[in-house]
Amino acid sequence: MSVDIETVKRVAKLSRIAVDDEKAERMKGELNAILGFVEQLNEVDVENVEPMTSVVMTDMKKRVDEVTDGDRAEDITVNAPASEDSFFMVPKVIE
Amino acid sequence: MSELTSLTIAEAREKLLAKEISAVELTESYLGAIEASNDQFNAYIRVTADQAREQAAKSDERLAKGAAGDLEGIPLGIKDLFATRDVHTQACSHILDGFKPRYESTVTSNLWDDGAVMLGKLNMDEFAMGSSNETSYYGPVVNPWRAEGSDQKLVPGGSSGGSAAAVSAHLCAGATATDTGGSIRQPAAFTGTVGVKPTYGRCSRWGTVAFASSLDQAGPIARDIRDAAILLKSMASVDPKDTTSVDLPVPDYASSIGKSVKGMKIGIPKEYRVDDMPEEIEKLWQQGIEWYRDAGAEIVDISLPHTKYALPAYYIVAPAEASSNLARYDGVRYGLRVTGDDITDMYEKTRSAGFGDEVKRRILIGTYVLSSGYYDAYYLRAQKIRTLIKQDFEKVFADGIDTILTPATPSSAFAIGDEEMAADPVKMYLNDIFTVTVNMAGLPGISVPAGLDGKGLPLGLQLIGKPFEEETLFQAGNVVEQAAGRFTPQKWW
């Protein structure tokens, strides 16, 4: 399978990464090289093979459902590019 | 004073406990070495001198009181992937511009609890995506090793290139690193250092910037096997904050060094004899086999039939997980923001300006293979192949193999700006051909320096172990270290 320029742009849009035409053209070549490389996986018979979900077989750890952290709004917003009164500031998202 | 930096962790620890040297002296000599030569290597991207001096002074107090921890007063370098409280933590990416976490990763917390001193943050490939340290926003790292009679700048490998270069050039006593496809073992091999990728789940991933969560694992890069064992004992822990942290006690790894390998079964996988493998790598491997035979181990030819599919499957699984993990960098909660016409435009411009080309490539591949209509053909198939790779290992271990011996890399260090690698991403990916199977199966692996190639550059051998049997790797790795000796670059800086 190989990708065309429209697909590269669509995937870039899904990834929320702006690309111009020149960049998309270059990425098309690179992505096709990688997709060409992984093509060989089609040789493998995966009939009746379970997909891996975890490399180490252990039960998922569970903890008691209780509050163990919190009241750290300042710590959480301190690295934000824009914040006010412990809120993250973003451009207007509703009309 | 400068010769203090030539002490191994084990040696420095003895001298500190015997009060022959102080932690402050030791830290000062490393800070001096960093100041004198870091510009040549670009290994540290941030030096935390004041913090190091404070920590060292406290170490001296504890040493005086006889309350020394396992790493009391030992100066370490920390890969920029580990969150360090109020200190530059950017995974060497522009998108985390200015990020200083208000928390400490579990791995580094463990080190400070044991008395270690932080010298600074080390360079790496952006988000640990790379095999040459050239994708870093802060520029490439220079390998302290040079080919004989040449002053061409070589890569230290990646992604933990800063860690490996700093350890090799004695700019720290040891370093933390991480390994998703070979990022500890390949740079260790390129710099004549020892690198350990523990079993998945042995070191907590909490507070480590995520690349591919089912593959990422922290481990040490050190000057010798004993130092690597000492560091791993401190780094590893059982952590309730990481659900994949495994509930097993951490053994004293160093105590397995020196134990005989007589009767141990060493597997030699025929699939690791790849096309175009340089003769020198083959020779090194044969040499390793001889060393084990001489030490009384039993050499057994084995087969790991799905080996060749590990790398292509990795380049589906790892980008898929990365595309999901890196979705959080959107210019809202931390790091860089580039303003746009609306919020979507802001996201797109921020991510376009903040991520480097290799990271973008992997996000795009990951998004593509997870997108509707392609998930089964790519991601699901790759995860099934991963099961087959793991079963290959399980079979040979069930047949009585104790550890598997392979080359660590298909070549020695190459030049910075290598044109063939720059032109073809897949060529760069092939660096991890011998290491990536270990991550896919979640196993522990160690790279031990084993010799020099014809150009005088270090090469490593890799040992692969059973899950949570890192001790076997230290025990067996010692055979190579004893036979090959230790490797220090000729000082040109």
| Domain that includes residue A24, residue range | 5-41
Overall domain count for chain A = 1
Cβ–Cβ contacts within 10 Å for residue B452, how many? 18
Q: Where are the alpha helices (DSSP H) in B268-409?
A: 279-294, 310-325, 343-354, 357-370, 381-398
CA-to-CA distance for B435 and B185, rounded, in angstroms? 7
Work out the average pLDDT over B61-87: 98
Give the ipTM of the model, two decimals please. 0.95
CATH assignment at residue A13: 1.10.20
Query: Read out DSSP for B77-141?
Result: EEETTB-BTTB---TT-GGGTT---SS--HHHHHHHHTT-EEEEEEP-SGGG--SSSTT-TT-PP
Overall domain count for chain B = 1
Digit-coded pLDDT (tens) for B296-337: 999 999 999 999 999 999 999 999 999 999 999 999 999 999
Q: Catalytic: which of B79, B233, B265, B466?
A: B79
Strand partners, B405: B463
CATH assignment at residue B86: 3.90.1300.10
The confidence score (pLDDT) of residue A62 equals 83
Known active-site residue B183: yes
Query: Read out DSSP for B334-369?
Result: SS-----SSHHHHHHHHHHHHS-HHHHHHHHHHHHH
The confidence score (pLDDT) of residue B277 equals 85
Q: What's the predicted TM-score (pTM) here?
A: 0.97
Digit-coded pLDDT (tens) for B153-190: 999 999 999 999 999 999 999 999 999 999 999 999 99
Give residue B268's region: left, alpha or beta (phi > 0; psi -120 to 50).
beta
Q: Catalytic: which of B109, B183, B237, B412?
A: B183
Q: Is the pLDDT of residue B32 over 60?
A: yes
Q: Is residue B140 one of the residues assigned to a domain? A: yes
Q: Is residue B451 one of the residues assigned to a domain? A: yes
Q: Is residue A85 one of the residues assigned to a domain? A: no
Cβ contact B390–A93 (<8 Å): no
User: Which residues of chain A are under the pLDDT cut of 50?
Assistant: none
Q: Is the pLDDT of residue B441 over 60?
A: yes
- How many CB pairs (< 8 A) connect A and B? 169
**Exposure b/e, B99-114, CB count within 10 A at least 16 = b:** bbbeebbbbbbbbbeb
Q: Is residue B367 one of the residues assigned to a domain? A: no
Amino acid found at B359: V
Q: Which B positions 227-286 lie with beta carbon below 8 A of chain A?
A: 240, 243-247
Digit-coded pLDDT (tens) for B262-305: 999 999 999 999 888 889 999 999 999 999 999 999 999 999 99
Q: Which residue has the tokens 């199977």?
A: B437
Q: Could you tell me the pLDDT band of residue B1, with boundaries at 50, 70 and 90?
A: very low
Work out the average pLDDT over B38-64: 98
φ, ψ of residue B449 to 5 degrees: the values are: -60, 135
| Domain that includes residue B422, residue range | 2-261+413-484
Q: Is residue A88 one of the residues assigned to a domain? A: no
